[in-house]
Amino acid sequence: MTQWIIHTVEFIGEKKNVKKLMKKLFNLSNQHYTNVVGGDLVPKKNINPKLFGVIQSYLFDGVAFIAEEPLLDELKEIANYYKVNFELQYNCWNAFNFGRMDYFYKTQTENSILFNENDLKDIEFDEENQVYKYEGAEFSHRSKLEKYIFDRAVRVKQIEMILEQLD
């Protein structure tokens, strides 16, 4: 079964660069994804816009789209080409595959917290009680479990940053 992933991306940077990119993405959003021609988004890299599936352009400088996998490398190429940064959040609605990435094109660095099913093998679903179990705790909704996992990872990352500064 295909695991569709919902991506929400906000582009940040010089207004003219963001506007140029958003115009391209808006034009893509007005076409059916099967009619989109490859190479139009980032010409030299030939990123195929069909990878982005159904795309929705937003008034805030961002888009949402679905794809079969997290399109991290493609988004980095787009950001580098248009000279913009981005904030990405993605989530798969039928599997534990979710994360957040902040990407900075000038330094080509990222700050990310990404999870997939292999990272979260210990999650169990109790059919009888209709709850998720993870590390001795129970969660009534998948979104609450994902938030718990994500928040914990953020705390660990913050502690690591503090410890690095103390060295």
Specify the pLDDT at position 39. 59
Q: Which of 34-38, 78-82, 84-88, 116-120 has the lowest mean pLDDT?
A: 34-38
- Residue-wise pLDDT for 31-70, tens only, equals 776 676 655 678 777 677 777 777 787 667 888 888 888 8
Asked if residue 4 lies in contact with residue 67, where contact means CB atoms within 8 angstroms, the answer is yes
98: amino acid identity, one letter = F
pLDDT for the residue 146: 87
**What's the pLDDT tens digit per position in 20-34?**
999 888 887 777 766
In this prediction, residue 109 carries a pLDDT of 94
Rg (CA), the chain: 18
Ramachandran sector of residue 83 (left: φ over 0; alpha: ψ -120 to 50; beta: rest)? left
What's residue 5's pLDDT? 87
Confirm or reject CATH 3.40.50 for domain 5-117, answering yes or no: no
- The domains of the chain are located at 5-117, 122-167
C-alpha count within 13 angstroms, C-beta hemisphere, residue 101: 24
User: In this structure, are residues 145 and 153 in contact, taking their beta carbons and an 8 Å threshold?
Assistant: no
Q: How many CB atoms lie within 10 A of CB 110?
A: 16
Instruction: Tell me how far the alpha carbon of residue 42 is from its chain's centroid.
Output: 19
d(C-alpha 38, C-alpha 12), whole Å: 24
* Among candidate residues 118, 64, 60, 111, the one with its CA nearest the CA of residue 91: 64
What average pLDDT does this structure show over 88-110? Answer: 89
Neighbours of 81 (CB within 10 A): 18
Place of tokens 């993605």: 90
More confident call, 140 vs 96 = 140
